[in-house]
A = this chain, B = another copy of it.
Amino acid sequence: MHPRTGLPVVGMVGAGQLARMTHQAAIALGQSLRVLAVDPEDGAALVAADVLVGHHTDLAALRKLAAGSEVVTFDHEHVPPDHLRALVAEGFTVYPGPDALIHAQDKQVMRERLSALGAPVPRWAPVASVEDVVAFAAAGGDRPVVAKATRGGYDGRGVWMISDPSQVRELLDAGTPLIVEERVPLVRELAAVVARSPFGQVAAWPVVETVQRDGINVEVIAPAPGLSEERAIEAQELAIRLAAELDVVGVLAVELFETPDGIVVNELAMRPHNSAHWTIEGSRTSQFEQHLRAVLDYPLGATGLTAPYVVMANLLGGDVTPPRPGATPRTEPADHHHYKPPADMTLDERLHHMFAAEPGVKVHLYGKELRPGRKVGHVTALGDDLDDVRRRARRAVHWLREGRPPMEGQTS
C-alpha cells in the first residue's frame, strides 16, 4: 500500500500505451501505478510519477518492480516465464500468473490447451520438419495453410501464408519454432473481451468486430454489427470459460475468426487489448479500470455500453483507405509501409483541424512519433447511426494522419 494514500501500488511490466492508459485509470481509483520502462521516453514513462527503467528480461529489474507493489501485471507478454515463476516463488503476487500467461506467450501451448478443452480452433499441427507441413496440407485436401511462430509474433508479424511447404525450411533452419494451421474461410474477425478476478468474478463486454489491415487492427466496432444474439453469447461464454479454465486474472481478450460454420479462436491476450480501447468512452467501465480492479480483487465494474454504437479507429502510419462503411469489412492490403506524415503540417496542427472537424470524437495519443506501421494513438466515436459513427472515426483519423479531410469516396 502507498504510505500516503493507503491504497494499492500496482507494478506494470512495460510502459507502452497500455500502461499509459492504465495509469489514467489508476489515478481515478486513487492508486499508484509503477511502470517498468525499457526507455525513460516510453509512452507511460512520459506521464507516470513512478517509473523504473529496466528490461523485462532482467529478473533483478522485475524484483525491483515487485517489491512494494501489491501485484505485478503486464503491458505486454514478453517476460520470460521462468522469471515470473521466480517472482511467485519469492512470494510476490503476479496476475495473470505464469501458468495462465503462457497461453498468451506460446501459440503451441495455447493450441494444445484449447484443443484439450474442446474449444473451437482451426485445424493445426506442431511442426518439426517440412514433411510435417506436407502431411498437414495433404490431410486438409490442400486447403491454404498458415505457418505461425509460436512465440513473439504480433500485429501480423510471425505469420506466413504457405504456398509451398519448402518455405518453412528457411524458418526452421533459422530456429523459429512453428505451428501450422489451416487458413479458415474468414467472414470477419471478432473479439470477446472479459475480465476475471482471483475470487472468480467475471465481467464481459459486448462482442466486437475487429477490422484488420495487413494483420494490424485498424478499427473496432462495438457491438459487432449483425451478430446474432446466439453467436454473441456463444463467444462470451467461450471467453468466460477460457478465463476460468486457464485461471486468468485481469483482462482476457479472445480474438476470434468468424467463419461460415461458426467461430474459432485465433489468439489470446491477457492484458488490456486494442480490441477494447473503445471501452474508455464506450463502456461504463473501461478495460483499464477493469484490469486494475481484477488484479487487485476488487468487485468488477458494470460493462454496459454508453451509446448504441461505439467505433474505435487506430491512428497508425497506414490507415489511408479504410474500408467504406457498408462494405463487408475484411482484411485488406495495407499501404502503411509507404506512409509519410505531411511535411507542411505538424501533428499539433493536424489535431487542431481534427478537433474543428469532429468536436464529438475523442482522441488518445500515446506520446510516440508517427512512423510507418506504428500505432501512435486512437480515436473513439459514439452514436446511434453506425455508418455515421464509423465515418466520424475515420474522418478524425484521416485528419490526424494526413492533415486533410478524406475524399468523398473514402468516407461515404
Chain A's interface: helix, strand, loop or mixed, by majority?
loop
Q: List 9 A-B contacts (CB under 8 A).
A: A1-B348, A4-B41, A5-B367, A6-B348, A28-B363, A28-B365, A29-B351, A30-B365, A299-B352
Q: B5 touching A355 by the CB < 8 A rule?
A: no
* Distance, CA A49 to CA B369, complexed state (A): 19
Interface assignment of A325: CB less than 8 Å from any CB of chain B:
no
Q: Which A343-379 residues have a C-beta within 8 angstroms of B?
A: 346-348, 351-352, 355-356, 359-360, 362-369, 377
Interface assignment of A223: CB less than 8 Å from any CB of chain B:
no
9 nearest A-B residue pairs (beta carbon):
A30-B365, A302-B360, A299-B355, A299-B356, A302-B359, A24-B24, A28-B364, A27-B47, A5-B367
Q: Given A27-B24, A47-B27, A306-B306, do A299 and B367 touch, yes or no (CB 8 Å)?
A: no
Interface assignment of A8: CB less than 8 Å from any CB of chain B:
yes
Q: B41 touching A49 by the CB < 8 A rule?
A: no
Interface assignment of A128: CB less than 8 Å from any CB of chain B:
no
Interface assignment of A304: CB less than 8 Å from any CB of chain B:
yes
Q: A293 touching B355 by the CB < 8 A rule?
A: yes
List B contacts of A346 (CB < 8 A): 6
* Distance, CA A159 to CA B1, complexed state (A): 39
* Distance, CA A41 to CA B45, complexed state (A): 19
List B contacts of A366 (CB < 8 A): 30
The minimal Cβ–Cβ distance linking A44 to chain B, given in whole angstroms, is 9
List B contacts of A51 (CB < 8 A): 49
Q: Could you say which interface size class chain A belongs to?
A: 35 or more
Enumerate chain A interface residues (CB-CB to B < 8 A).
Answer: 1-2, 4-8, 20-21, 23-24, 26-30, 32, 41, 45-49, 51, 284-285, 293, 298-302, 304, 306-307, 346-348, 351-352, 355-356, 359-360, 362-369, 377, 382
List B contacts of A369 (CB < 8 A): 4-6
List B contacts of A359 (CB < 8 A): 285, 299-302
List B contacts of A4 (CB < 8 A): 41, 46, 367, 369
Q: A27 touching B32 by the CB < 8 A rule?
A: no
List B contacts of A300 (CB < 8 A): 355, 359
* Distance, CA A122 to CA B83, complexed state (A): 68
The minimal Cβ–Cβ distance linking A299 to chain B, given in whole angstroms, is 4
Q: A46 touching B46 by the CB < 8 A rule?
A: no
* Distance, CA A363 to CA B301, complexed state (A): 11
